[in-house]
Structure 1
Amino acid sequence: MNHAVEINHVRKVYRVGEQKVVALNDISLQIPRGEVCCLLGTSGSGKTTLLNLMAGLEKPTKGTIQIEGKSIEKMDEQRLAEFRQRYVGFVFQSYNLLPSLTALENVSLPLTFRGMKKQLRENAALDLLKAVGLKRYATHKPTQMSGGQQQRVGIARAFVGKPPIVFADEPTGNLDSKTTHEVMQLILEMAKQNNQTLILVTHDRSIAAYADRVVYILDGHIEKIEINHEKYKGENQ
C-alpha cells in the first residue's frame, strides 16, 4: 500500500532553560494516501507537535519522517519551504487570512509563491471561491466576513494548489455547531475530489467521527489507533 506519511520512531525534545521536555516519544505511524486521519488528544498531548513535524515546520530530535516518499527531516530550510509550497496545504483554527488582502488575493497566495501568472492564479482562486460558495465575496476583506465565511476562504486557500496533503489544526474550533458540520463536509468533499490526504488535529471527538483513522495521542505517545470500518464499508458499497 502507498503511504502519504511514514513516521518511524520519532522523538521530539524541547529545551526549557536547563530542563528537557519530551513532547513526543517513539512515535511510529503510517497514513495511506487519500485517507482522512485524525490526531485526537487533549491540550498538551503532543498532537500539534506531531502535525508540525509532519508539515516540516519543526524537526524531530530523533527518528525519520517521510511525506510522499520524501525524507523531510534531512531537508534544510530552503528545501523545506519548497516542499511545503508544493506538497502541503494548511487550514487553521484562527483562519490566518491577511487582513489587507481580499478573499480572492488570500486564496491565490499559494499560487503567487509558485510563480504562477496573475490571470491564471486569479482564475483558479475564483473557481475555489465558487466551490466554497463565496464567489460574490471575492473582493471582500476578512473583516467584512463572518467567522464561517473566513474559514471557507481559508479552506479554498489550502486546496487551491491541489497539494497531496492538507493539514487542518482545530479547523472548527471557533465555529458554532451548524457551521462546524458545514465546514467539515466541505473539507472532506474537497479532499475526496482530488484524492488528497487529510490530516485533522482536534480535541473534539465529534470531529474525529469524520475520519477514516483516529490516532489517540496521550502524553507524547500513541495510545491507540482506531479504524472507522463503517466509513470504509459505506465508501466501498
Structure 2
Amino acid sequence: MALNDISLQIHPGEICCFLGTSGSGKSTLLNIMAGLEKPTKGTIAIRGKQIEKMSEKEITRFRQKNIGFIFQSYNLLPALTALENVSLPLTFRGIPKKIREQMALEMLEAVGLKKHVAHKPSQMSGGQQQRVGIARAFVSKPPIIFADEPTGNLDSKTTEEIMSLMLRMAREYEQTLILVTHDRSIAEFADRIVYILDGNIEKVEEKSLIKAEEQE
C-alpha cells in the first residue's frame, strides 16, 4: 500500500494508535516509521535523527538502542525459554549474561510470568507468549515501542489484560507507544487515534478532547 502525503508528529510519552482496515496502509506506515522499510520520498525523524538517510548497519544499531517491537504473531524463538527470549535484545547491546538474565527475570515478573521463566513458547498459551513479547520489547526500556496488532490472536478478556499491561508499563517508563490495529476497542486505549484510509490520514481524534466534550 502506497502512502500519500502523510505528515504527523508524535510526542514523547504519547500513546498513539493508527486505526484502519486491512490494506489501508497502517502497517506500511509503521514499518517506515520504524526503519524497516525506506520511503521513496519524505523524511522520518526520530529523536532528531533522519533514519531514512541511515545505512542498514546504522539503522539496526539505532533500533537496538531506541525501539522495541511487539508483534501479533509473538515472534518468539521456539528453541529458547521465556527468560532467553526476553534477554535477547540485551545480548545485542553487549550486556553481561548475569545482568541481562536478572533484568529479564525482573521484567517477566512484572508481566506476571515468574513461574514460566523456563518455559518455551510451545509450553505457553497465546496470552502468555504475548506477555513474553511485551517483556522482551520493554526489557531494555527503549524510548519508543511499536506494537503491530498486538492482540490480534487473543480473546477479548486476554486482549484487555494485555492492553492494560502495555499501557501501564509505557506510562511507568515514560515511553512512547505506537499501536497499529483495525479494532476500534483497542484504539480506545490510546491518547490519540489516527485514522488511516487508502494510504492517507483520514482524520485524527485527540482522546483528551473527546473525553472533555463527553463530560460537558
Give TM-score, length-normalised by structure 2.
0.96
* Equivalent AA in structure 1 for residue 208 of structure 2: H
Q: Which residue of 1 aligns with 2:165?
A: 186
Q: Does the residue aligned with 2:180 lie in a helix, a strand or coil? A: strand
Name 2:126's counterpart in structure 1: 147
Q: Alpha-carbon deviations, 1:55-109, whole Å to 9, x = none?
A: 1101111100101111101100000000110000000000000000000000000
Assess, with a 3 A threshold, how the Cα gap between structure 1 residues 175 and 191 changes in structure 2: closer, same or farther: same
The CA distance in 2 between the partners of 1:214 and 1:230, in whole Å, is 12
Is the 1:88–1:163 Cα contact (8 Å) retained in structure 2? yes
Partner of 2:15: 36
Runs of 5+ unmatched residues, structure 1: 1-21
Return the TM-score normalized by structure 1. 0.88
What CA distance in whole angstroms lies between the structure 1 residues aligned with 2:136 and 2:196?
Answer: 28
Q: In structure 1, what is the equivalent of residue 52 of structure 2?
A: 73
SS state at 2:29 partner = helix
Determine which structure has the larger strand proportion and give its number: 1
Corresponding residue number in structure 1 for 2:80:
101
Alignment-derived partner of residue 8 in structure 1: none
Per the alignment, residue 54 of structure 1 pairs with: 33
Report the counterpart of residue 149 of structure 2 in structure 1: 170
After superposition, the C-alpha distances for 1:127-156 in whole angstroms (9 at most, x for unaligned) are 000000001100000000000000000000
Query: 1:211 deviation in Å?
Result: 0.4
Aligned-residue Cα RMSD (Å) equals 1.1
- SS of the residue aligned with 1:91? strand
Question: Contact 1:169–1:200 (CA<8 Å) still a contact in 2?
Answer: yes
Whole-angstrom distance in 2 between the partners of 1:158 and 1:180: 17
Aligned match of 1:92: 71
Once residues 211 and 9 of structure 2 are traced to their aligned partners in structure 1, the CA distance between those partners, rounded to angstroms, is 17
Letter in 1 for 2:60: A
Are the equivalent residues in 2 in contact too, given 1:102–1:141 (CA < 8 A)?
A: yes
Counterpart residue identity of residue 134, structure 1: L
Identity of aligned residues (%): 73
Secondary structure at the aligned position of 2:42 is classed as strand
What code does the residue aligned with 1:226 have? Answer: E
1:212 is aligned to 191
Q: Which amino acid aligns with 2:193?
A: V
Q: Name the counterpart of 1:118.
A: 97
Question: By how many angstroms is 1:174 displaced?
Answer: 0.3
1:120 match: secondary structure: helix
Asked if the contact 1:37/1:213 (under 8 Å) is kept, the reply is: yes
Matched residues, number: 212
Structure 2: gaps of 5 or more residues: none
